[in-house]
Amino acid sequence: MEDVQFGVLHNRKTAGTALKEVIAQQKQRTPFMKVQCFDHAMTLPQFITHYPTAKAIFFVRDPISRFVSGFYSRLREGRPRYYFPWSSAEARAFKRFNHPNLLAEALSSFNPLKRWFAISAMKSIGHVRHTYEDFLGPVGFLQSHVQRIAFIGHQKEFEADLIKLRAMLAIEADIVAPHDEIRAHRNPKELDKQLSETAIKNLQKWYRRDFEIYEWCLAWRQYDRSHSREELIRGSRPSPG
């Protein structure tokens, strides 16, 4: 098995593409750096099992913001950077719901058929149906494996977090993250991302466990701010819970 010190896990719609671009540039210069980037399929529980001496790096994002981003990413089938055609279930979902607010509001519709269609769409649309619990495990799992986490980034604070990761991973200063929509795999800025109060309440209920995990990760970050790089790498931290 490859000698890995840090594993960069690609949590969906959390700036993982931009981070992997940065690391790929550094690996072209230092091919033997002990950092391995993984695709979406590698979850934290799998990583911990298959790489027992390595530490994980991943990013998180507010679950509602992540829902909107994921919805639009699949609406355009990943284009222009990628092209992953809709599944038949996604095609049916987008035929009924062409805006994230329409889908989120329909989760509490008084019309049982519309509500059923909304629930089906939430379980069918890529990114939207993938949860933090799927990717990271429940809070209890994170608590019990906290020593295996080297860094938790926050998509909203990507630039500041990248500065910290430069020091941890020895990434050279002239290597910069992509900022264009294509290379960074970002949604166009002009998209309508507004959600109603009803939509937000429905999503908070739908992603209840994801919010618990997200808050745990933010608590981890708060603890991490007061500790040195050496402590960070050793993983010598208590649980933030």
Task: Report pLDDT for 24.
Answer: 93
> Would you say residue 144 lies in a domain?
yes
> Would you say residue 241 lies in a domain?
no
Structure tokens given for 122: 């939430």
Task: Judge whether 97 and 104 are in contact, CB under 8 Å.
Answer: no
- Please tell me the total count of domains within the chain: 1
Expressed as residue numbers, the domain containing 145 is 6-234
> Would you say residue 106 lies in a domain?
yes
CA 167 to chain centre: 22
Q: E strands along the chain, which residues?
A: 6-8, 35-37, 55-60, 149-154
Residuewise pLDDT in 10s, the chain (241 residues):
568 899 999 999 998 888 999 999 999 999 899 999 999 999 999 999 999 999 999 999 999 999 999 999 999 987 777 788 999 999 999 999 999 999 999 999 999 999 999 999 999 999 999 999 999 999 999 999 999 999 999 999 999 999 999 999 999 999 988 764 444 445 566 688 899 999 999 999 999 999 999 999 999 998 866 554 445 445 444 455 5
> Would you say residue 204 lies in a domain?
yes
Task: Report pLDDT for 156.
Answer: 93
Task: Report pLDDT for 236.
Answer: 44
> Would you say residue 239 lies in a domain?
no
Query: Which CATH number is 129's domain given?
Result: 3.40.50
Task: Report pLDDT for 184.
Answer: 41
> Would you say residue 1 lies in a domain?
no
